[in-house]
Structure 1
Amino acid sequence: MEPFFYFGMMSLLSVLVSCDPVPDGVVHMECHERYFMIAVDRSFAGDEARFEAVGKPCMILKQGNTKDRTGVYAITKSYAASCGYSIAVVPSSSCIELRASYFSCHTANQDDQVFTFSFNLLARCDGAEVVYALNKTCLPLLQWSPREVTCEVNYMEVSVRSEITCAAGTRKDDWNTLTTAHASATSDWQVMFQNDVEQIAPMSLSDARERGYVFELTDGRLVFRAPYGQPHAFISMVNGIPVEVVHATLFSRQSWFVIMVDLLTTCSIHEGTFEDGHVVFETPEALYPGPDATRLFVGLNSELLEPSVFTDREDIVIKNNTVQIRIPFNMDGGHRKSVASGDLYEFFTFHLHMEQLFDDEEETRLRLHRMLVTPLLLHPLFTQNQTVVEEHMFTVYLGDIPEDVELLSFQLNGHEILWPLANTSSYTIVNVVQPNHQHGYMLKVPFDDPAVSQEFCAFHSVKYSLGINYTLRVLPENELCYHSVSVSALTDVSPPVLDAACSETGITFRVDHRPLDFLWFFSVGSEELTSELAAQRGYRMTNDSHALQVVVPLFTQGFQYEGITLKGFLGTFEILVKERQTSAVQRSITKTCPFTSSEVIACSMDGRMTVLADLSLITPSGATPSSSNLLDVFCCPVEADSTRALFSFPLNSCSSKVKLYNGEVIYENEIFYYSKHASERVVVQCTYPLDGLHRLFSMHRFESDSPGSGRIIHSSQPTAAPLRATTVLQTRAPAPMRTSGDANAKLLASYGNVRYFRVLKSRKPHPDRRKGLFFQAVKRDFRHRG
């Protein structure tokens, strides 16, 4: 890539108009010891801006220059090289820079001490091309050396003192004839060029000007200037370094003696190399006669530094009569530019300014300007996964982005996202400024975002994966480059935990929704807790976007009861958390609460019925519930008060009745007062699923997979009338499973402690029995058999 380019000649596209003065801060002008510099902000002038020189006519080239208006000269590429201008747009810089030699054309020169520059800046303003006048006067402080050589980027220039001290008869005024020679082809002054092979025939000054050479005489100096690559120049190798040489001898025959001026310019044309992260420039240590270069100064961007500054850094090496300057590619003072070519690249440009002093009989001062450019270097972007799993969010930082590169868009697992983001986006991205002229972007994406992929792994863990493809653009060219990164996070997932709270009428369960709750489900016993199941059993369930709440009223199916006394009892309800894939129980949420009620019945898994019954309707006048009993008159209450009685007895005792119906085993007993006039009765029942019973009766134990459901039935029984239920209290267990008819035979074989069976076939369907077999097991002592 070319490090700079020169402005070509452009035709005026519109009438030049005046505009307001140049805004502050967009144009910067500086006077240096041997040149004048203008820097214009490209954002103001644009890349198509151009300069014109304004000033006195100059007898130089007749070709290549366009005089647009009186005293105004367009600075083209060829005109700049011949007239002492260099104009560069460095791609890595934000400025257009013009440098003008103090001896440049059209510069007002007073005694080689005061130099006045006048230029026009042509730029676009509101669609029209406008002219901004730029003027500056410079007064160099450094005294001129007898010979001064300038090696600019596009031309070579040498100036020598014009005072002659030689043989008698030589007059200083004879130099004034050189001024006439600028305009006359018949001037006695001639120039002869020499190279390393032959001596070229002399030519007149007018012929030399036609070939692009410039000769000018000031009040005290003779100036010679030549663009690089002239036909009379030659390349020579000095200590292995290429140098370009133009050797011109200016002479005039005056009467019987000849006046000759030797004008020699020698400049290193080493283009620079890139070695081990350094831009390396080389030049011979002694380009001009003399034992050594007495002093050496090096700087960047026209600022010369003392030799010790570079020497301490080991950036200047003088070895084998060669000066080697090594500049780290990221050294301050250079200009950086990004380039997009699939990946992101960069190159660095350095404006090297070097000065050497050679001391032989008279001092020679050599100044060199070079634009050094690195090759394209890959600029890796830095990505860091800063995700904190507990935040349940990806946090990815993309850094080391140069300031001339910005984010255009990005993709999340293939989903295109434009930047800036919409206000409704669930993720955020923030531009983070870094102190080293770079910046970065912090992207946050929640784990539960639809763009994030999820994979359920073993041991209750979930892997979240996110592929990010960034699209960046390089300014101002809008070239695109891309960067990709993949991040993942593994989380240990625990089953949800429900909060439970007691109330007077039941238990309330509540759980806040989490992103991964879909991995589990809730169940009551073996059945999944759904809205349908809740409606069927009388639970009150609400489920919104924030939480699930289930209110379980007392005495609904699934409650277990224990610790029943006249003062109260404990009710327990359990909700299971199961893994959805395997239905395995992962967690049990059990809540036990104290309750009070006038009636309650519990059917235990070990075959015991505990019942607290309200006997106020069947208690005869003057009697108390403590004198009540079951079918077996010897089965009396455990506790009693004025209205209630508490019974607790094994199911296969106290003359309990047993019946089978539809896969269920029903144990039934009655609470009553022994009176032939009694019209009220209290029936108590416990019902178990038949397939959940391991043994109906055994000598020592009763086994059931789950508690039974109980009922307390308050009913009236008039004489010669069927039993009529009036009030019923029911505690429900899980719904029974239907079994085959062979269960009846198995049942008969398992009655271990029953003396005999009475098998009745119901003639009329009892409201609580319907069709089926009714078994009555009566415990009777053999001594009473009649």
Structure 2
Amino acid sequence: MAFGFCLGVFILLSVWPSVTCSDLPRGAIETACRDRYLLVTTQLSFAGNEPRFEAVDADGVHPITKQYGSECGYMFSILPLPGHAELRASYFSCHTDNQDDEVFTFSFNLITIDANGVETTYHVNANCSLPLPWSPREFSCEENYMEVSVRGDVSGLPGTKADNWTAALATAHSAAMSTWQVMFQQEGQQLTSMSFSEARELGYVFHLTQGRLVFRSPYTGSVMGSVTMVNGTFVEMVYPILVSRQRWVVIMVNLVVACSTDEGMYDGAGLVWQTPTLLSPLVSELSGLESSKISFGVAGQLLDEPITAERGYSLDISDTTVQISIPFNADGGYRKSFVMDNMYHEFYVVRLYYEQTFMDDSGVETRLRLHRPMNTPLLIQHPSIINQTVLEARVFTVYLGNLSYDVDLVAVKLNGHNFTILEANKSGLVITMVSQPNSNLHAYVLRVPFDSVIHKLYPTEGLLEYSLDINYTLVILPQEEPYYYLASVVAQFNDVFPPVFKGVCNKKSISFQMDHKPFDYLWEVGVGPYLLTPNLAAKRGYIMQNDSQSLILEVPLFSVGYTYKDINLKQFRGTFEILSRVPKTLEVKSSLAKACLFQTTEVIVCSTEGVVTVVTDVTLAVPGAEPNGTFLLDATCRPQETDDTRARFSFGLHTCGTRVQVDHQHVTYENEINIEHTFQSEAPVKTRDTASVVTVRCVYPLSDLYKLFAYWRFEADSPGVGTILTRVPVKIFQPNFPPTTLTTTRRPLTSTTTSNTGLSPGRKMPGIHPRAKYVKVFSWQMNQPKGTT
């Protein structure tokens, strides 16, 4: 199951052209003395070239190759972590200085190669004191070799079956050998005898220390070894028996060694490894050897039960097998990531460390230690997306997790807008890297306010959706392979409706009230094309009150924004409309056009269609005048309706003798209401005369009348400003300006603007006291430019 590019032994044997020596960088290389071996780890950058080790002793320098490592007790591997390699050297390794099996001195050269092919050599030295006393018999099952050591005063330890032992003894008696020989027993074959040098050529090493006898064998594929099935698990075994005959005495030492070859399996949830509870032939029928203690851990260190339980590890011991399970991505392992066809692949690696203690009937202890790397196959992984958005906060919070240590987020694309991590944080977005609990994984939390790049949608009435499409750009280190991951999140709000106004008719105004709701901010309130603001209200004479509970707007009659219909001498209909619309698109979502009947006194309306409607009291100018005797400049234009004091006229701006004057800003239309009346002269004779008692004006902005000049058709974008002028002082009703009284005498029109009366430029009306109610009526168009009132 192992992957050659990340597991196993990587040794280079080439002769390199240039070599430099360097002092050891702080923290780049670390050594640690473990129970039965020295651990050397390095964090040096490899630049694509794996480092190599050399063992150094008094005889010189010895390159640690794959074969040499398995023969001499060295295990070198490259770990999934970038730039992380380690060497495990047995206390009984070939070039280790051994003092009484208690103190062990190591010396190595670590050689690295940079991108230019230049070698750098670092010297590594370490001293280890034995942390745990030796057991009479100890086994080490490394990744590339098996090692057994026995106490030197033990001539025949239990473990070999009686018939094998008898056969070995018979062979030794029949042979005239005074030097040590080694006999290998293989299943179903006769004993094979050879010298130590012949065994060494086959990869088997025997070594005698001050107090122990050591045997080391290649882990797999050894010539004299065999593999057998024990309780459902393959076990590799080597049966060496050392024999020496001194006259009538035969000395025999059993150095049998056996290790489970199980490499673990991935069951979809994690890695599972198993071994026989009792390894044959370590246990014979005559020995009474039993398992007394089992412990395990990772990365060469045993772990306490509370720690293994916290990480989710499990140990299942039966009479026949021991099974260890480690969940996928549990702490203590490593994940390695890859990109293939924009698919995120990875595998998970655990370096299992297993220790088992056996005890025989005589209380003699045997200890087994095993190192076993396990990894999953290549798995297609999908980063986990969790929508952690809290609607009340109005911020999308998206959690991107399940990322290995070698995966970095470098950019995001949000609803089509690209951001690097730095740009996002400068733009009011927040991207934070966080660690995932109880694992070596990390995650990213993205926070995007609803008022930024978020899309808003109203799929059905009352339902509001915020949506965010995310394209994460991730890179796999160290090669920086890009990987893109798409995600979409949606936040929904129910019962979301535009603001609703209630309208009430008053005697001289219309009042509107809107009760505030949480989502009122999604819309703006407008009057025609204009946004309703305190400034607009003050400018137009509206009375507005806005607090946390509600908005109240009172609009006095004749304020800007009214439209008028059905005008007669008794009453007229005034309508004021208030709108709720989307701020960016100005799309109207709801509206209330409140129409109220008002009592008619005097009024003038200059419509967008070019029709003037005016109701005026002619008796204010000429007491006792007969309204039904009034007429316009064209005497054929008579009132449509009269009573005792008032007359109502309705006529087109291009009829009834209406005069027109154009300047650089306005077009002014003017007509006069005349009346015939009888007066008594000095002579006792009654004389009839015609007098102009009322002047009627409508002023339109020149820019609103482009169709008049383009198509010779009157059509204004907005109603004109109407003014009624009589010969006596009257009030002026105009938004934003106090009542005004003019006291001069009447003169012809001139050319400056009097903005508060709506007259064309310079239109002072000497001798005329404008008293008419000033009425400005708008038929608002949504496409009218903002910013003007």
Using the size of structure 2 for normalisation, the TM-score is 0.63
Task: Please state if 1:109 is matched with 2:98.
Answer: yes
Distance 2:562 2:154 in 1: 125
Q: Tell me the equivalent position of 2:252.
A: 260
Q: Does the aligned pair in 1 maintain the 2:240–2:254 contact within 8 Å? A: yes
Q: Whole-Å Cα distance in 1 between the matches of residues 368 and 358 of structure 2? A: 6
1:76 aligns with 2:65: yes
Name the SS for the 1:82 alignment partner.
helix
Q: 2:694 aligns with which of 679, 683, 690?
A: 683
Q: Secondary structure at the match of 2:256?
A: strand
Q: Please name the residue that 2:201 is paired with.
A: 210
Cross-structure match for 2:666: none
2:104, 2:128 within 8 Å by CA — same for their partners in 1?
A: yes
Residue 614 of structure 2 is aligned to residue 653 of structure 1: no
SS of 2:255's equivalent? strand
Q: 1:459 to 1:300 in 2, by over 3 A?
A: closer
Residues 132, 601 of structure 1: CA spacing in aligned structure 2 closer, same or farther, 3 A cutoff? same
**Correspondent of 1:9 among 12, 17, 42:** 12
Q: Which runs of 5+ in 1 are unaligned?
A: 58-70, 167-185, 498-514, 531-537, 541-551, 562-571, 592-599, 619-627, 636-649, 688-705, 719-723, 737-786
Give the direction of change, closer, same or farther, for the CA distance of 1:294–1:443 in structure 2 (3 Å limit): closer
Stretches of structure 2 that go unaligned for 5 or more consecutive residues are 157-176, 502-518, 532-538, 542-554, 565-573, 607-612, 630-640, 657-670, 683-688, 699-718, 728-744, 749-764, 780-789
Which amino acid counterpart does residue 37 of structure 1 have in structure 2?
Answer: L
Report matched runs for 1:477-556 at 5 Å.
477-489=479-491, 492=496, 494=498
Q: Is the 8 A contact 2:178 2:246 kept in 1?
A: no
Q: 1:441 aligns with which of 433, 438, 444?
A: 444
**Pairing 1:324–2:323 present:** yes
Residue equivalent to 2:86 = 97
Query: Which amino acid is the alignment partner of residue 267 of structure 1?
Result: C
Superposed CA offset, 1:349-375 (max 9, x none): 133232322324543222222122234
Matched residue type, 1:193:
F
Q: What's the CA shift for 1:140?
A: 0.7
State the distance in 2 between where 1:679 and 1:668 align: 10
Q: Which moved more, 1:309-318 or 1:272-281?
A: 309-318
Residue pairs, 1:13-24, within 5 angstroms: 13-23=16-26
CA distance in 2, matches of 1:476, 1:717: 92
Matched, 1:475 2:477: yes
- Residues 422/442 of structure 1: CA separation in 2 closer, same or farther (3 Å cut): closer
Secondary structure of 1:202 counterpart? strand
- CA shift, 1:383, in A, is 2.4
Label 1:51 to 1:464 Cα distance change in 2 as closer, same or farther (>3 A).
Answer: same
- How many pairs are equivalent? 597
Cα 1:430–1:610 shift into 2, 3 Å = farther
Cα distance in 2, alignment partners of residues 717 and 91 from structure 1:
101
The AA in structure 1 aligned to 2:324 is I
Tell me the SS of whatever aligns to 2:70: helix
Q: 1:26 Cα shift?
A: 2.7
Equivalent in 133, 140, 163 of residue 143 of structure 1: 133
Are residues 520 and 256 of structure 1, via their aligned partners in 2, closer, same or farther at CA, if it must alter by over 3 Å?
closer
TM-score computed with the length of structure 1 as normaliser: 0.64
- 1:711 aligns to 2:724 (yes or no): yes
Alignment equivalent of 1:163, drawn from 153, 159, 171? 153
Note the C-alpha offset of 1:99. Answer: 1.0
Contact kept? 2:616, 2:647, Cα under 8 Å? no
Question: For residue 571 of structure 2, what is the aligned residue in structure 1?
Answer: none
1:387–1:396 contact (8 Å) kept in structure 2:
yes
Could you tell me how far 1:73 is from its partner in structure 2? 1.2
- Identity among equivalent positions (%) equals 36
Decide whether aligned partners of structure 1 residues 329 and 254 sit closer, same or farther in structure 2, where only a CA change above 3 A counts.
same
Asked whether the equivalents of residues 183 and 240 of structure 2 are also in contact (C-alpha less than 8 Å), the reply is yes
Question: Contact 2:180–2:242 at 8 Å: present in 1 too?
Answer: yes
Report Cα offsets for 1:1-27 as digits up to 9, x if no partner. Answer: 43622121243434332223331x332
User: Are 2:291 and 1:300 equivalent residues in the alignment?
Assistant: no
Q: Residues 612 and 522 of structure 1: is their aligned pair in 2 closer, same or farther, counting only changes over 3 Å?
A: farther
Displacement of 1:246 in angstroms is 0.8
Q: Are 1:355 and 2:356 an aligned pair? A: yes
Q: Give SS of 1:421's match.
A: helix
- Give the direction of change, closer, same or farther, for the CA distance of 1:338–1:679 in structure 2 (3 Å limit): same
Mapped partners of 1:213, 1:271: distance in 2: 23
Q: Which residue of 2 aligns with 1:759?
A: none
DSSP-derived class of the 1:78 partner: helix
Aligned 1:345-494 pairs, distance under 5 A: 345-361=346-362, 362-377=364-379, 379-387=381-389, 394-414=396-416, 416-421=418-423, 425=427, 427-436=429-438, 437-445=440-448, 453=455, 455=457, 457=459, 459=461, 463-489=465-491, 492=496, 494=498
> Helix, strand or coil for the counterpart of 1:79?
helix
1:586 aligns with 2:588: no
Distance 1:394 1:267, change over 3 A: closer
Deviation at 1:51, TM superposition (A): 1.3
- SS of 2:11's partner is coil
Q: Tell me the amino acid that sits aligned with residue 112 of structure 2.
A: A
CA distance in 2, matches of 1:429, 1:675: 95
CA contact (8 A) 1:93 1:336 kept: no
Q: Deviations over 1:243-297 (max 9, x none)?
A: 0011112233444554333221111111122346343222222222333123333
Task: Please tell me whether the aligned partners of residues 212 and 227 of structure 1 are also in contact (alpha carbons under 8 angstroms).
Answer: yes
Q: Are 2:266 and 1:274 equivalent residues in the alignment?
A: yes
Match of 2:357, SS state, is: strand
Structure 2 distance, partners of 1:191, 1:121, is 36
Does 2:212 correspond to 1:221?
A: yes
Q: State the shift of 1:733 in Å.
A: 5.0
Residue in 2 that maps onto 1:244: 236
Offset, 1:214: 0.9
Residues 585-613 of structure 1: CA deviation (Å, up to 9, x unaligned): 6146999xxxxxxxx953599x9946699
Q: Report the residue type matching 1:20 in the other structure.
A: D
TM-aligned CA distance change 1:324 to 1:452, over 3 Å: closer
1:286/1:655 CA distance change after superposition, 3 Å: closer
In structure 2, distance between residues paired with 1:612 and 1:560: 25
- Structure 1 window deviating more from structure 2 (420-429 vs 117-126): it is 420-429
C-alpha distance in structure 2 between counterparts of 1:655 and 1:194, whole Å? 136
Q: Matched residue of 2:14: which SS? A: coil
The one-letter code matched in structure 2 to 1:326 is: S
| Structure 1 partner of 2:107 | 118
Q: Is the Cα contact below 8 Å between 1:352 and 1:372 reproduced in 2? A: no
The equivalent position to 1:29 in structure 2, one of 23, 26, 31, is 31
Structure 2: how far apart are the matches of 1:302 and 1:603? 99
The CA distance in 2 between the partners of 1:10 and 1:30, in whole Å, is: 27
Q: Distance in 1 between matches of 2:522 and 2:274?
A: 71
- Alignment match, 1:641: none
**1:117, CA displacement in angstroms?**
0.8
Distance change in 2, residues 1:353/1:577 (3 Å): same
Which letter maps to 2:194?
Answer: M
Secondary structure of 2:423's aligned partner: coil
* Whole-angstrom distance in 2 between the partners of 1:113 and 1:129: 35
Question: In the aligned structure 1, how far is the partner of 2:627 from the partner of 2:587?
Answer: 52
Whether contact under 8 Å (2:106, 2:126) holds in the other structure is yes
Structure 2 CA distance for partners of 1:629 and 1:411, relative to 1, 3 Å: same
**Distance in 2 of aligned mates of 1:520 and 1:664:** 42
Q: State the distance in 1 between where 2:305 and 2:448 align.
A: 54
